[in-house]
């Protein structure tokens, strides 16, 4: 199955089309994942691009979160999991024996469905990991990093006068932006988002979507969504999963307007899922 949206079968590429090929950040090859006997992901091949938003869609239980967690080795934390295959980030397989999974999780940040700030102040939520990993020392450089991360997450103006208050005192939408600030603060290359707005009101959702569009200038973003309109609004590429298979992966317009597979069409037209 061709799963590279820019796969070019001809050897003759003219310059104008070559320029449109985005830079690959993640290359997934023949990825299989088992939870015990449950074969949850089947032979996934996928290239994911820098400075793009890639949406993962598909019915509940099809493997979207499982796939996302393969990209930062978070599934390693689950006892029954076995992963086969390769996930290259910048041409290095993150499943190679010499790769430290903690360092992978620093480079590949993750934002979850439920905002989950630490039970700490707003300031400490953002500064905790950079201080722990020695990226900054307490004092000015740390203050600057906290401010920069909160600005980038579109939250600074709302919290700059109450940085010592608990992160949990913020609204749900603000907490989610705090979690994004916390993710950005360790300067990842890639941000994974698992239904980041599904617990939020429409205005907060709009803010997070606007933020995603800004953040893609610096990062590769992979997001899971059940909201087809959201995928249409933010995603450059969309991947449709069904029962552990990657059925179709293409630019978002193709997936929604002219899908190549009947299963994709049935799903996006609401026939199941």
Ligand X SMILES: Nc1ncnc2c1ncn2[C@@H]1O[C@H](COP(=O)(O)OP(=O)(O)OP(=O)(O)O)[C@@H](O)[C@H]1O
By CB under 5 A, residue 65 contacts Mg ion = yes
By CB under 6 A, residue 61 contacts ligand X = yes
Q: Which is nearer to ligand X, 178 or 224 (CB)?
A: 224
Residue 63 binds which one of Mg ion, ligand X, none, with CB within 5 to 8 A depending on kind? ligand X
Q: Which is nearer to ligand X, 40 or 221 (CB)?
A: 40
Residue 212 binds which one of ligand X, Mg ion, none, with CB within 5 to 8 A depending on kind? none
Candidate ranges 34-42, 45-53, 141-149, 249-257; the one touching ligand X (CB under 6 A): 34-42
Residue 66 binds which one of ligand X, Mg ion, none, with CB within 5 to 8 A depending on kind? ligand X
Interface residue with ligand X, options 77, 78, 213, 257 (CB under 6 A): 78
DSSP labels, the chain: ----TT---SS---HHHHTTPPPEEEEEEEEEEEETTEEEEEEEEEEEETT-EEEEE-STTSSHHHHHHHTTTGGGGSTTEEEEEEEEETTEETTSTT--HHHHHHHEEEE-SS----SSBHHHHHHHHHHHTTSS-TTHHHHHHHHHHHHHTT-HHHHTT-TTSBGGGS-HHHHHHHHHHHHHHT--SEEEEESTTTTS-HHHHHHHHHHHHHHTTTSEEEEE-S-HHHHHHH-SEEEEEETTEEEEEEEHHHHHHS-SSHHHHHHHTTS--
Smallest distance from Mg ion to CB 60, Å: 7
Residue 154 binds which one of Mg ion, ligand X, none, with CB within 5 to 8 A depending on kind? none
By CB under 5 A, residue 205 contacts Mg ion = no
Interface residue with ligand X, options 64, 177, 207, 233 (CB under 6 A): 64
Smallest distance from Mg ion to CB 182, Å: 21
Query: Which residues of this chain interact with ligand X, rule CB under 6 A?
Result: 35, 38, 40, 58, 60-66, 78
């Amino acid at each position: 199955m061709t799963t590279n949206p820019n796969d070019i079968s001809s050897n003759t590429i003219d310059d104008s089309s070559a320029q449109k090929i985005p830079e690959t950040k993640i290359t997934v090859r023949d990825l299989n994942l088992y939870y015990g006997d449950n074969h949850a992901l089947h032979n996934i091949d996928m290239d994911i691009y820098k400075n793009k938003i890639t949406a993962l869609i598909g019915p509940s239980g099809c493997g979207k979160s499982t796939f996302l967690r393969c990209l930062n080795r978070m599934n390693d934390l689950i006892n029954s999991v076995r992963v086969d295959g390769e996930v290259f980030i910048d041409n290095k397989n993150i499943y190679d024996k010499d790769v430290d999974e903690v360092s992978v999780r620093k480079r590949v940040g993750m934002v979850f469905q439920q905002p989950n700030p630490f039970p700490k102040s707003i300031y400490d939520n953002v500064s905790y990991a950079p201080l722990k990993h020695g990226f900054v020392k307490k004092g000015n450089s740390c203050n600057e990093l906290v401010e920069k991360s909160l600005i980038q997450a579109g939250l600074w103006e709302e919290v700059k006068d109450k940085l010592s208050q608990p992160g949990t005192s913020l609204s749900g939408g603000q907490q989610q932006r705090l979690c994004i600030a916390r993710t950005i603060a360790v300067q990842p290359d890639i941000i994974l988002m698992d239904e980041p707005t599904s617990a939020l009101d429409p205005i907060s959702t709009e803010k997070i979507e606007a933020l995603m569009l800004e953040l893609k200038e610096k990062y590769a973003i992979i997001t899971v969504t059940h909201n087809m309109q959201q995928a249409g609004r933010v995603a450059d590429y969309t991947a449709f999963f069904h029962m552990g298979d990657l059925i179709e992966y293409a630019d978002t317009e193709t997936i929604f307007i002219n899908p190549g597979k009947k299963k994709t069409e049935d799903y996006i037209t609401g026939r199941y899922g």
